[in-house]
Amino acid sequence: MKRAFLLGCVCLFGVACFSQNDPVLMRINGREFTRSRFEYGFKHYSAHAGVRLSVKEYADIFIASQLKVKAAEAQGIDTVFDFRKQRESYRASLLGFHLLGRNFLDDGTHEMYRNITKHALSEQVKVIQICKYLPQAATSRHLHMEQVRMDSIAEQIKRNTNIAFENLVERFSDDKRTRWIGRLQETSEFEKVAFSLNKGETSHPFFTPEGIHLVKVVDRKGTPEYKDVYAWLVERLMRSQKGEERILSRAEELKSENGFVRNPEGIGELLIKGKTEKELFAIDGRSYTGRMFQKFASSRPQSVKRQLQSFICKSLLDDEKRRMTEKYPEMRYVLQEYADSLLIGEVTRRVIDEPAMNDRAGLATYFKFHSSHYRWDAPRYKGAVLHCTDKRTAKRAKRVLKKTPFEEWTALLQQTFNANGTEQIKIEQGTFSEGDNKYVDKLVFRKGDFASIASHPFTVVVGEKKKGPDDYREVIDSVRKDYRIFLLASWERELRTAAKVEINQEVLKTVNKD
């Protein structure tokens, strides 16, 4: 997703600036949206959806999206650490795109990708984690408290192997994503643990510079696609020697663009004594002092001169990142669109996707009122094929199953007839279409034939023909899909009914459609 947004912004960089005459096009619950903001969304949607809509058709989509963003903000999703971290990471990627240029990025990222795919670095694991992000200045007491808390969760998982890890993630984790990661994408501590686990295994609690983690590997696979790791490749290229050299040359240009002024007295004292309290330089009137440098240099064991060069470069880049959306208004919309997509994705996951997947009562109720939608084209046989050692056993088995719930048939027959080590019955249970099972075909649908099993020569069927499923779990994937559509439509309708939307139709007519 990051790659799509990044590539989309390249086209926008060709636009010098938006028109000074940028009227308000609509208000949604009091929040104003200008024509240029709407136009950016319209062009972005058209480019990525592959569908050409009218302006009025897109207006409905835009309103629905912004109402979801508002719903996400109402839940505080825009304040959580993970959201802020992803947004800032994307802002940094935008800065890299801006500073390095598309040709440099494309050449560099493709070269890195080729190198990765030649080695074991192409391996990926799908992880979900219980984590607590910790500040850099966390006290030893704070660290111990979080260690004890995470150990308690780990012990709970160890004692109860049937516990749903996903439920613990929802309750205790600062990061609720399930995501694919590759080599060199995470800290070395996280990577070492994640790639040491087999599919389905859960780690012991461990610390990284970001916090404390308890990781479960959901799946593993080989080489990721280029587009899926593009944003990470950009960030890695920026940290490479080639990228740093390019950025350093750009930083020299930023000095004149952003009002960089050296303080020879402060810099001289720093280079001689190794420290100073004086101002070292200013960027656009903002002072950068020796104390700020000291904090920066404490984690970079280099000569003072090299540390100062790095500090100046980082300060210039940080300043450019802050001013980026002011200097290039179109970047503000690129960043906003990405942030909106994160908020919409997370609030939709909470409000729609999780209930559609796990709300058993809701799924059952939806199925009850829409069961006719799931009827089969031809009748099916819901029951069991019993291969018995003798006729008496077959009759007994039929009687045993008469008043027993369908889902308990196999367990009951195993307990009643096969518990003593002698297998009196072989069982095939399920819902069979014509052609699925040769025994059902012959005994129920009166087609085909079969040869009896020598050790279990008496074959009978127990069950009945059905026009459709009795329970939503028999067609769970279809019901989940339809229930999600129902929930989404209901939610969007509820948001729209409660919203106050004002559209300036005259301004709407002036929207640039190209």
Looking at mean pLDDT, say which of 102-111, 186-195, 500-509 comes out highest.
500-509
Mean pLDDT over 355-364 rounds to: 92
Q: Which residue has the tokens 């007519």?
A: 509
Residue 15 in this model has a pLDDT that exceeds 60: no
CA 66, CA 41: separation in Å to the nearest integer?
A: 11
The mean pLDDT value of the chain amounts to 87
- The pLDDT score that the predictor gives to residue 444 is 95
Question: Both tokens of residue 427?
Answer: 């069982």
Of the residues 297, 327, 357, the one at which a domain ends: 327
Mean pLDDT over 447-462 rounds to: 94
The answer to whether residue 180 is domain-embedded is yes
Number of structural domains (the chain) is 3
Residues 251 and 166 in one domain: no
Taking the chain, what is the end-to-end CA distance rounded to the nearest angstrom? 24
- The pLDDT score that the predictor gives to residue 120 is 55
CA 298, CA 485: separation in Å to the nearest integer?
A: 54
Residues 271 and 198 in one domain: no
Residues 391 and 449 in one domain: yes
Answer for the pair 198, 183: CB distance below 8 angstroms, yes or no. Answer: no
Residues 270 and 302 in one domain: yes
102 vs 120, residue with greater confidence: 102
Q: Which residue has the tokens 């096009």?
A: 25
Which tens digits make up the pLDDT trace of 205-249?
999 888 899 999 998 877 777 777 777 787 778 777 888 788 778
Answer for the pair 62, 503: CB distance below 8 angstroms, yes or no. Answer: no
Mean pLDDT over 71-98 rounds to: 86
The answer to whether residue 62 is domain-embedded is no
Strand partners, 323: none
The answer to whether residue 419 is domain-embedded is yes
DSSP element (H, E) containing 98: helix 81-100
Strand partners, 289: 279
The answer to whether residue 458 is domain-embedded is yes
Pairing of strands 279-283, 286-289: antiparallel
DSSP element (H, E) containing 279: strand 279-283
DSSP annotation of 211 reads E
Residue 19 in this model has a pLDDT that exceeds 60: no
Residues 217 and 249 in one domain: no
The answer to whether residue 52 is domain-embedded is no
Residues 404 and 431 in one domain: yes
HSE value, Cβ hemisphere, 13 Å, CA-based, for 249: 8
- The pLDDT score that the predictor gives to residue 9 is 47
Residues 456 and 426 in one domain: yes
- The pLDDT score that the predictor gives to residue 121 is 57
The answer to whether residue 449 is domain-embedded is yes
Which tens digits make up the pLDDT trace of 386-420?
999 999 999 999 999 988 999 899 989 999 999 88
- The pLDDT score that the predictor gives to residue 210 is 85
Please return the burial class of 281, using the count of CB atoms within 10 Å of its CB with bins 0-12, 13-18 and 19+: buried
Residue 188 in this model has a pLDDT that exceeds 50: yes
Which tens digits make up the pLDDT trace of 155-178?
888 877 777 888 888 888 888 888
Least confident of 8-17, 24-33, 285-294, 459-468: 8-17
- The pLDDT score that the predictor gives to residue 434 is 93
> What 3-state DSSP class applies to 380?
strand
Of the residues 187, 221, 255, the one at which a domain ends: 221
Residues 217 and 244 in one domain: no
The closest alpha carbon to 96, from 262, 233, 259, belongs to: 233
pLDDT-above-90 percentage for the chain:
48
Residues 462 and 402 in one domain: yes
CA 328, CA 335: separation in Å to the nearest integer?
A: 11
Mean pLDDT over 179-197 rounds to: 84
Question: Both tokens of residue 415?
Answer: 């307990």
Question: Both tokens of residue 372?
Answer: 């006719």
- The pLDDT score that the predictor gives to residue 18 is 43
Residues 323 and 261 in one domain: yes
> What's the pLDDT band for 460 if we cut at 50, 70, 90?
very high
Range of the domain at 275: 240-327
CA 55, CA 25: separation in Å to the nearest integer?
A: 12
Sheet strands (E) in 175-210 = 178-182, 206-208
CA 330, CA 314: separation in Å to the nearest integer?
A: 24
Residues 203 and 130 in one domain: yes
How many helices (H) and strands (E) the chain has is answered by 21, 13
Answer for the pair 313, 247: CB distance below 8 angstroms, yes or no. Answer: yes
The answer to whether residue 493 is domain-embedded is no
- The pLDDT score that the predictor gives to residue 48 is 78
Any idea what the CATH number is for the domain that residue 177 is in? 3.10.50.40
Q: Which residue has the tokens 């740093």?
A: 244
Residues 264 and 186 in one domain: no
To 5 degrees, how large is the angle CA 331–CA 336–CA 341? Answer: 130
Residue 35 in this model has a pLDDT that exceeds 90: yes
The answer to whether residue 268 is domain-embedded is yes
Which tens digits make up the pLDDT trace of 130-140?
998 887 777 87
Which tens digits make up the pLDDT trace of 474-498?
888 899 999 999 999 999 999 999 9
Cα dist. 167→22, 75, 157, 172, 479 in Å? Answer: 47, 19, 11, 9, 22
The 10 Å Cβ neighbour count of residue 109 is 20
Of the residues 443, 467, 491, the one at which a domain ends: 467
DSSP element (H, E) containing 26: strand 24-28
